[in-house]
């Protein structure tokens, strides 16, 4: 069986609950090593009142221990989640595991810990010095993000044909889809320039990418408010959103429990849950395990 390293995410959130409750299911699919130390695992298990499975294998993670405070934004929990993630990456890079699956971090806790990375994908991009692509979704629909954790006011200035065409070519090399829909930035796809000119750049990027690939893979920029109808999804099960919420708001409205996050264009396989730390239900034994189980399945399949 494949061997997967799981980074446990922010221990003040729902990640460790999901890992403990799902272990018996995912251990039938692969061998798992959890990037957490024994003391922190026992503390979380006690708070959750969930017994630790006998086959719950731990890595050799060394990180500063702390007192878990459910639902709290905390520098120590942020640092621990980073160390857990870094440990998983090292295991994958050294070929000690076949892939990694990440449970949710809290970005503000990372910032409080003095970490310069916006999140998992940002770290992976800088660590491997490659243009990692964030793609989220499920079998019914995947959405790749051209810009990710970027303030909305800065998105339009980043939509230029050269970098966008490079992104599209790289995306296609990773997923090999026969048809990929591009979402316009502006309402009504700009209405011929009346509501914005960014669609001119998007269309030009599509033309460049299609010429490079030698096939009409990428569409003209589509009107975003109709792109996620059942009929549209039936035509395009892969889409490119120009910014984070443009793609993820409808995706999560449609397939929240099923979706996962996949990092493309990297030398390691990394998948993740498609949700956050869920502080509102942390340590209440109410978290859904579906996204995590799907992330494990994808990691096994891709590795």
Instruction: Give dist(CA 302, CA 27) in Å, integer.
Output: 17
Domains within the chain, CATH numbers bracketed:
1-130+268-303 (3.40.718.10), 131-265 (3.40.718.10)
Q: What is the mean pLDDT of each run of 10 residues along the chain (303 residues)?
A: 97 98 96 98 98 95 97 98 98 98 98 95 96 95 95 95 98 96 93 86 97 97 94 94 96 93 97 96 96 97 94
pTM exceeds cut of 0.75: yes
pLDDT of residue 273: 97
Contact, 156 vs 164, CB < 8 A? no
Half-sphere exposure of 261 (CA within 13 A, CB side): 24
172-194 burial, b at 16+ Cβ within 10 Å, e below that, comes to: beeeebeebbbbbbbeebbeeee
pLDDT of residue 191: 79
CA 258 to chain centre: 13
pLDDT of residue 186: 94
Instruction: Give dist(CA 40, CA 48) in Å, integer.
Output: 12
pLDDT of residue 190: 81
pLDDT of residue 195: 84
Other C-beta atoms closer than 10 Å to the C-beta of 25 total 12
> Look-up: residue for tokens 């910032």?
111
Query: What percent of the chain stands above pLDDT 70?
Result: 100
pLDDT of residue 193: 79
Based on DSSP, count helices (H) and strands (E) in the chain, helices before strands. 11, 10
Contact, 10 vs 81, CB < 8 A? yes
Six token digits for residue 249: 């708001």
pLDDT of residue 192: 82
**CB within 8 A of 91, min separation 6: which ones?**
5, 33, 35, 59, 97, 100
Q: Are strands 260-264 and 218-222 parallel, antiparallel or unpaired?
A: unpaired
- Give the strands of the sheet with 260-264, arranged side by side: 31-35, 3-7, 99-102, 270-273, 260-264, 133-138, 141-145, 238-241, 180-183, 218-222
Six token digits for residue 282: 């942390």
């Amino acid at each position: 069986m494949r061997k997967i390293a799981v980074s446990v995410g922010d221990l003040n959130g729902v990640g460790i609950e999901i890992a403990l409750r799902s272990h018996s299911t995912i251990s039938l699919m692969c061998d798992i090593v959890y990037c957490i130390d024994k003391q922190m695992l026992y503390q979380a298990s006690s708070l959750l009142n969930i017994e630790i499975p006998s086959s719950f294998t731990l890595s050799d993670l060394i990180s500063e221990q702390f007192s878990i405070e459910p639902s709290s934004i905390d520098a120590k929990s942020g640092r621990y989640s980073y160390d857990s993630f870094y440990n998983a990456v090292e295991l994958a890079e050294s070929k000690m595991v076949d892939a990694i699956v990440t449970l949710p971090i809290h970005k503000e806790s990372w910032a409080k810990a003095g970490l310069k990375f916006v999140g998992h994908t940002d770290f992976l991009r800088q660590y491997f010095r490659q243009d990692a692509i964030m793609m989220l979704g499920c079998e019914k629909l995947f959405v790749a993000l051209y810009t990710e954790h970027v303030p909305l006011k800065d998105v339009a200035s980043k939509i230029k044909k050269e970098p966008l065409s490079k992104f599209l070519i790289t995306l296609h090399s990773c997923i090999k889809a026969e048809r990929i829909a591009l979402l316009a930035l502006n309402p009504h796809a700009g209405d011929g320039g009346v509501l914005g000119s960014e669609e001119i750049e998007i269309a030009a990027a599509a033309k460049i990418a299609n010429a490079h690939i030698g096939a009409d893979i990428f569409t003209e920029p589509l009107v975003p408010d109709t792109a996620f109808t059942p009929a549209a999804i039936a035509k395009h099960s892969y889409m490119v959103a120009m910014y984070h919420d443009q793609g993820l708001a409808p995706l999560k409205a449609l397939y929240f429990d099923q979706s996962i996050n996949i990092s493309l264009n990297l030398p390691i396989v990394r998948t993740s849950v498609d949700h956050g730390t869920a502080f509102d239900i942390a340590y209440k034994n109410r978290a859904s395990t579906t996204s995590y189980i799907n992330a494990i399945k994808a990691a096994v399949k891709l590795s």
